[in-house]
């Protein structure tokens, strides 16, 4: 499983940015609630064990339900607050595409390399996040129709290159590059994923800016729309 990692890695993992306000950054709840109501989204203030002072939004995209929440991180590579989202898209469950910023990919690969001791150990036994398993399973892909700046910031891995091409279209790529100021830097952990017919987002949230939050929401719903429009529907259960 780790052959590809062992071939390309050496040295220590690069640092991932811990923003100056990462332990407490979150937009004011009232503006979020008001904005959500204008967008047809349901807003709830966080109350679960992992929510901290966060909140959740629910909505529909292409007739499919999605949920986005801000709260305490569920991954050790994210510090402070985490934006995470999930949508049930009903697309082909065999399609698997992972997009993440390159510093995060480098850090996860090097963490796996540093932790790996023998071929009998599993990722679960080593306590590593499942994202590392995906890095070992899927090949990085690319294509010329997206600008070099995009590929400098993001890495895309997929079970099949055709699935990545069908999902990450030019409008979605433009959204991923057009973060409003104060923009998260290229080193801030960010991930979009298609897996088992669902879309996911994970993002370290260092800014209390409403514009950053609104854009992250737009990126996720845009990713959902692109997946629904670009990939075949899943088989009926």
Mean of pLDDT over the chain: 83
Q: What is the pLDDT of residues 208-226, one digit of tens each?
A: 688 999 999 999 999 999 9
Q: Is the pLDDT of residue 9 over 70?
A: no
Percent of the chain with pLDDT over 90: 60
pLDDT (0 to 100) of residue 13:
40
CA 142 to each of CA 80, 102, 161, 231: distance values in angstroms, whole numbers, following the listed order? 32, 13, 8, 18
Q: What is the pLDDT of residues 76-127, one digit of tens each?
A: 899 989 999 999 999 999 999 999 999 999 999 887 776 665 455 555 555 5
The pTM (predicted TM-score) of the whole model is 0.83
Task: Please determine, for residue 15, whether its predicted confidence score (pLDDT) is greater than 60.
Answer: no
Query: What is the token pair recorded at 220?
Result: 């996720």
């Amino acid at each position: 499983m780790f052959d590809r990692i062992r071939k390309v890695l050496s040295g220590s993992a690069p640092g991932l940015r811990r923003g100056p306000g990462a332990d407490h950054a979150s937009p004011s709840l009232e503006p979020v609630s008001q904005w959500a109501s204008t967008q047809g989204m349901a807003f709830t203030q966080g109350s679960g064990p992992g929510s901290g002072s966060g909140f959740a939004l629910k909505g529909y995209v292409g007739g499919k339900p999605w949920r986005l929440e801000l709260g305490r991180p569920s991954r050790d590579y994210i510090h402070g607050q985490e934006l995470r989202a999930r949508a049930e898209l009903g697309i082909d469950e065999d399609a698997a595409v992972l997009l993440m910023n390159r510093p995060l990919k480098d850090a996860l690969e090097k963490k796996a390399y540093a932790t790996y001791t023998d071929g009998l150990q599993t990722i679960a036994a080593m306590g590593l996040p499942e994202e590392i398993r995906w890095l070992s399973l899927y090949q990085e892909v690319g294509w010329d129709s997206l600008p070099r700046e995009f590929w400098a910031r993001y890495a895309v891995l997929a079970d099949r290159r055709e699935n990545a091409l069908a999902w990450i279209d030019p409008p979605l790529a433009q959204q991923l590059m057009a973060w409003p100021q104060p923009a998260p830097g290229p080193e801030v952990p960010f991930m979009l994923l298609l897996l088992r017919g669902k879309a996911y987002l994970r993002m370290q949230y260092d800014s209390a800016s409403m514009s950053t939050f609104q854009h992250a929401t737009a990126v996720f719903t845009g990713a959902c729309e692109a997946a629904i429009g670009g990939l075949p529907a899943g088989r009926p259960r």
